Amino acid sequence: MRRSAMISLVFFVLFQKFGNTVQAQTIKAVSSAETGRKTKKLVMVALDGMRWQEIFGGVDSSLMNDPLYTKERKDMQKHFWSADAGERRKKLLPFFWSTVAVKGQLYGNRDLGNFVNVANPYHFTYPGFSETLTGNPDSAVNSNRLVANKNANVFEFINRQPGYAGKVAAFTTSDLFPYLLNKWRNGLIVNSDQDSLPYPDPSFRLLNEMQSLSAKPTGERPDLLTYFAGREYLKAYHPKVLYIALGETDAFAHDGSYDQYIGVTHAEDGMIADLWNLLQSMPEYKDQTTMILTCDHGRGSRIKKDWTDHGVDIPESGEIWIAVIGPDSSPKGEVGTRMQLWQGQLAATMAAFLGMSYQPAGQRVLPVAESILH
């Protein structure tokens, strides 16, 4: 067994063994006045299947130079290549490396001993996003079938708190999310894939027309439209929690198209920058919003061709990353200390940012990631 796979397995077994004790250690509910935190709004953006290798290392030369994966090598070289890894990642992800790295925190550079993993053993979309949002790496959540999630999730928990009802909204490219978040149980606003936008403002009518006329090369709504749907909703309705889950990174990687995967990664860094700049320009959000960026799973890397794929058979596809920027997360930048975070910790951590304790009855939940809150 590979070393990293062994480490993951040991942590997973430890978690399975002791995970149940987590719930017993109920975290006391505290007000934001007591915690001294400034966060009043939360935004999460997820990039499906985006590898930590490119987040921290920029484009991979072995994939860029392989005509099987990269059709326009010269273009990629011109826009994204530098022999210097620091420069290279900045070219690919200017917002991550010029803003988050300066004002926020980035976790998951395994070359520095900083580990972020999924705790679920499956390494694909539904289990990954379910772990993120429910806090529970439930072994019964083991397929991408469109079935309603039995686990409670942190968004419905927040939506039930005084002042938050109807103020939590999700915009997603994948049609898994209405099921994953079980919107029929909790009435969350979840707009996914081919859903139209039932809002009167002209910008939504335009987006509906664009959606009906756009090509869907990945079989789903283009990420750009998912992003604009979320952005325009934020401008018009001021949600307290906004979730945007994008899917093209995963879709293009499965296609084996490194050009497209890299191109969309760069474009989505630009959308995240646009969103952050918008948040900082609105008095309802400025200096009181925490934005968390993450993914649902990693992809292969040890065997070159495995970069296109992920799953149980590719142990390193359980390796992920987390980035955060906001008024309560000190500017640690790229975190290089040896530590282990788990995907499922994000659920309780999101609640903790808002001074809430997420502990659904009868459900195991991973503990708050304290490092992110400080």
Residue 313 near residue 122, CB atoms below 8 Å: no
Q: What is the closest distance, in whole angstroms, from the C-beta atom of residue 373 to Zn ion in the complex?
A: 30
Nearest residue (CB) to Zn ion, 47 versus 322 = 47
Q: How far is CA 347 from CA 39, 106, 129, 201, 358, in A?
A: 15, 18, 10, 32, 8
Q: What is the closest distance, in whole angstroms, from the C-beta atom of residue 193 to Zn ion in the complex?
A: 15
Q: How far is CA 14 from CA 20, 196, 217, 316, in A?
A: 11, 44, 42, 18
SS3 109: coil
Give CA–CA dist 50/56, Å, rounded.
Answer: 11
Cite the beta strand spans of 4-71 per DSSP E. 41-47
Q: What is the contact mask toward Zn ion in residues 223 to 262, using x (rule: CB under 5 A)?
A: ---------------------------x------------
Q: What is the contact mask toward Zn ion in residues 10 to 49, using x (rule: CB under 5 A)?
A: ---------------------------------------x
Q: Which tokens go with 99? A: 């803003």
SS3 242: strand
Nearest residue (CB) to Zn ion, 309 versus 328 = 309
Nearest residue (CB) to Zn ion, 156 versus 309 = 309
Nearest residue (CB) to Zn ion, 232 versus 250 = 250
SS3 24: helix
Residue 313 near residue 79, CB atoms below 8 Å: no
Nearest residue (CB) to Zn ion, 6 versus 312 = 312
Q: Which residues of 184-215 are buried (b: 16+ CB within 10 A; e: fewer)?
A: eebebbbbbbebebebeeebbeebbeebeeee
Nearest residue (CB) to Zn ion, 250 versus 319 = 250
Residue with tokens 């039930």: 160
Q: What is the closest distance, in whole angstroms, from the C-beta atom of residue 151 to Zn ion in the complex?
A: 21
Binding status of residue 319 toward Zn ion by CB under 5 A: no
Q: What is the contact mask toward Zn ion in residues 154 to 193, using x (rule: CB under 5 A)?
A: ----------------------------------------
Nearest residue (CB) to Zn ion, 138 versus 250 = 250
Closest residue to bound Zn ion by CB? 250
Q: What is the closest distance, in whole angstroms, from the C-beta atom of residue 314 to Zn ion in the complex?
A: 11
Q: What is the closest distance, in whole angstroms, from the C-beta atom of residue 310 to Zn ion in the complex?
A: 6
Q: What is the closest distance, in whole angstroms, from the C-beta atom of residue 307 to Zn ion in the complex?
A: 12
Q: How many residues bind Zn ion (CB under 5 A)?
A: 2
Phi and psi of 61, rounded to 5°?
-65, -30
Q: What is the closest distance, in whole angstroms, from the C-beta atom of residue 91 to Zn ion in the complex?
A: 25
Cite the beta strand spans of 226-329 per DSSP E. 241-246, 289-294, 322-325
Helices 202-213 + 223-237 axis angle, to 10: 170
Nearest residue (CB) to Zn ion, 132 versus 349 = 132
Q: What is the closest distance, in whole angstroms, from the C-beta atom of residue 48 to Zn ion in the complex?
A: 7
Q: What is the closest distance, in whole angstroms, from the C-beta atom of residue 47 to Zn ion in the complex?
A: 12
Q: How far is CA 187 from CA 183, 198, 232, 328, in A?
A: 5, 15, 21, 30
Residue with tokens 């991408």: 144
Nearest residue (CB) to Zn ion, 251 versus 356 = 251
Q: Which residues bind Zn ion (CB under 5 A)?
A: 49, 250
